[in-house]
Each structure stands twice: as C-alpha cells, then as structure tokens.
Amino acid sequence: MEFLVAQILSGVSLGGQYALIAIGYTMVYGILRLINFAHGDVFMCAGLMMVFMCASLPVYVSIPLMLVLTVLLGFAIERAAYKPLRSAPRMSVMISAIGVSYLLQNVALYATGGQPQTYPSLPFVSGTVTILGASTHWVTVITPVLVIVLVLLLQWLINHTKIGMAMRAVAKDFETSQLMGIKINNVISFTFVIGSLLAAIGSLLYFTNYQSIVPLSGSLPGLRAFVAAVFGGIGSIPGAVIGGFIIGICESLIKGAGATTFSDAFTFALLIVVLAPPELVQEFAAEGTPMLLALLALGNLSFWLCDRALTAITPLYRQRIAPRLKKKF
C-alpha cells in the first residue's frame, strides 16, 4: 500500500511538472496554431542557467535571475525565429521551430562540453516528508499545489484582464483581431513570455528529482508535455493540466511495476493513438502538420526499440559470442 501511495504521489508531482510545460505548448498553439518544438529546449536551458548561476551566486539570487533570463530567451526566440514568418506557410514556421530546437541543443552542448551537469540542491524542496506512511520529497507536495495556484492565476489573467481579452480575441480570429486594432505582435510575445516563465518554474521542480542535466534533457519532458497538451485538447489550459497529470501518473505506475523501459514507448504510442481521432487529424491536416507529427512519433518509437534491442544484444555478444571468436582466432 505504501509503495502504491509513493508511486501515485510521484506521478502527481511529475504530472504537475509536465503540465507546466504543456501549458506553454497549448497557449502558443491556441494563438498561432504553431507547435513550438523548441519549448522543451527552453525548459532545458532554464535548468542549465540555474546550474551555472548557482556556481557563483546564492540560490535566492539565482532563482529570480534564472526566471528573468528564461523569459528573455523565450521573448528573443519569438522575435527572431517566428515574427519574421508571420505570413509564411505553417510548415515554414514549424521548420524554424525545429531549427531553434537544434540551435539551443548545440549551444548547450558547447557550453557543457557534452558533460552532464549536476543540478544544485534547493533546500525548500529537497527535504523529505511522510504522507500516508510513504516517504517522499517536499517537491512532491509543493508541485500540485503550485500548479493549481498558477493555473488559477493564469485563468484569471486570461478572463479578467485586457491582455487576456486580447489573447482570447487573437485565438478566436487572428485577422479580425488585427483589423480591430489589437497589437498582435505584443500579444504573441506575451504568450511566449508566459510559456517560458512556466517552463522555467517547471525546470526548478523537475530537476530537483532528476539532478543530471545534458543538452537533450528537454527532449523527452517536452515530448511528454506535448502529448499531454494534445491528450487534454490542445488549446485548452485545463485540458493540458489534466493531460499532464494523467501522463505523469501513468509513467510513474509503469516504472513502479518494473517496466521502466516501456515508459517512453507508452508516451510515443499514446501520441499516435491520440492523433488517430478523425476530427483532430482533420484539424492538424488543415495546418499541414500530421505527417510530420506522425514521423516524429514513429521515429522516436523506432529509435527507442533499436536502443532496447542493442542493450539486450550487447551482453549476449560479450558473454557467448565474443569468447568463441577469441578461441577460433
């Protein structure tokens, strides 16, 4: 029983972290009809910024500075990579997003030298607490509470402020909003700022548990968050949050059952299944993206299967085949 409680608590915490990333995906898609493939790498960059800043600055200074720098990074990406392509075909914008993703990964590779970086310990979330007999970290308790508070604030912002009204108008009808005098570029930039801020907060929570950061650390969390956004109904903030919690709990239960190697395959398979409903396929087809998404999902799944196969074959080769070859030759 305690083991099950621990797995569920871990899943809720992980799901909350995915939800914070998923909100960025769903907000950008809701306004631009763009899947920002670089969003997971912004999340990774926030983690690396925290590592480098904590090496010379106190934690209480590093955290707000990291949040500000991540917001500026998201703003710069929108202005440099997406704003010049406002009138370009959707596929061109998606290719630009993939290019930004690879750029951030390679900059991180250069900055780290390809070596894993150890995330600093955050005293206010690293302690342990016992819930229903199961011992867990404070981050597990803080994450769902913080996610709920942030989502409520975001919903209030969208429904009760001028900028929120402008965001809803742009999401409803991009061209008409522009004709009505709404400053489209400012609204889009503000959306990227919010998404980047939430990704930075998510990185604080996520890397407290997964303390090793490499340039590809944002890829899988970003993909899972994207699946959560699609699963909850992309464009819907509450749906993205619910999808994040479902993905996190399922992943935690799969790992708890001893099938750790299948947790990634579950995400890739779920993405393919979620994209199967005709109405969603038609929506993506209107933007010219279904084939790209399907290829990305299938590519990741095939890469995972090859990796598992090589992992299984290598010990067999070393134990049985290599000794026989040495005897023969």
pLDDT digits (tens, 9 = 90+) for 77-117: 999 988 888 888 877 888 888 899 999 999 998 888 888 88
CB distance 71 to 196 below 8 Å: yes
Q: Is 212 helix (H, G, I), strand (E, B) or coil?
A: strand
Phi and psi for 213 in degrees, rounded to 5? -115, 130
Alpha-carbon separation of residue 255 from 6, 223, 225, 242 (angstroms): 12, 18, 18, 20
Q: Can you give the length of the chain in residues?
A: 329
Q: Identify which of 10, 16, 9 has the alpha carbon closest to the alpha carbon of residue 203.
A: 16
3 state SS for 268-317: HHHHHHHCCCHHHHHHHHHHCCHHHHHHHHHHHHHHHHHHHHHHHHHHHH
- List 117's β-bridge partners, or say none: 213
pLDDT at res. 152:
92
Q: Has residue 31 got a pLDDT over 90?
A: no
Nearest Cα to Cα of residue 208 among 267, 124, 150, 135: 124
pLDDT in tens, 107-144: 998 888 888 888 888 877 776 777 766 667 778 888 88
**Which among 184, 180, 202, 262 is positioned nearest to 21, based on CA atoms?**
202
Q: What is the pLDDT of residue 284?
A: 52
Rounded distance, CA 222 to CA 217, Å? 9
| Conformational region of residue 176, where left means phi above 0, alpha means psi within -120 to 50, and beta covers everything else | alpha
Q: How many angstroms from the chain centroid is the CA of residue 134?
A: 28
Please give the Cα distance from 312 to 309 (Å, whole number).
Answer: 5
Q: How far is CA 38 from CA 81, 82, 156, 196, 239, in A?
A: 11, 11, 27, 11, 21
pTM: 0.80
Euclidean distance between CA atoms 174 and 120, whole angstroms: 43
Q: What is the mean pLDDT of residues 157-179?
A: 87
Do 46 and 66 touch, CB atoms closer than 8 A? yes
Average pLDDT of span 279-299: 54
d(CA 73, CA 77) in angstroms, rounded, equals 6
Q: Where are the beta strands (DSSP E) in the chain?
A: 117-118, 128-131, 134-137, 212-213
